[in-house]
Amino acid sequence: MTPTILITLVLLWQLALLGYTFTLAGNAADEAVRAATAADGNWQTACQQKGERTLPPAWQREVSCHPGAPGYLTADVTLKVPVLFPGTIAFPFRVHGHAGAVQEADR
């Protein structure tokens, strides 16, 4: 019975990490695009820096920011799902977070 309980706990932990990775990706994309819309000057740098700072260092990631329609900015965050412990090996699939916002008017 003990192995069954341990395997169940490991699977539940892995599912929790998967859900947390989805949450991190979405939140980082939101924060990054929010920083881009409020930036004075280089919005792409502000977007990428905020996206990187929002994420814990253990997650392997890619942050990219793009202009959409005129006055609309988007941020994409891609994270690898860690296997059991963040900062170690990761699964080959990725979790994607996407956000968009309208650029704030000039002050």
Sketch the domain layout of the chain as residue ranges. Answer: 2-102
Q: Is 103 exposed, middle or buried (0-12, 13-18, 19+ CB in 10 A)?
A: middle
E strand or H helix that includes residue 12: helix 2-38
Mean pLDDT for the stretch of residues 50-56: 85
Mean pLDDT for the stretch of residues 39-65: 83
Q: Which CATH class is domain 2-102?
A: alpha beta
Q: Is the pLDDT of residue 6 over 70?
A: yes
| Higher-pLDDT residue of 10, 106 | 10
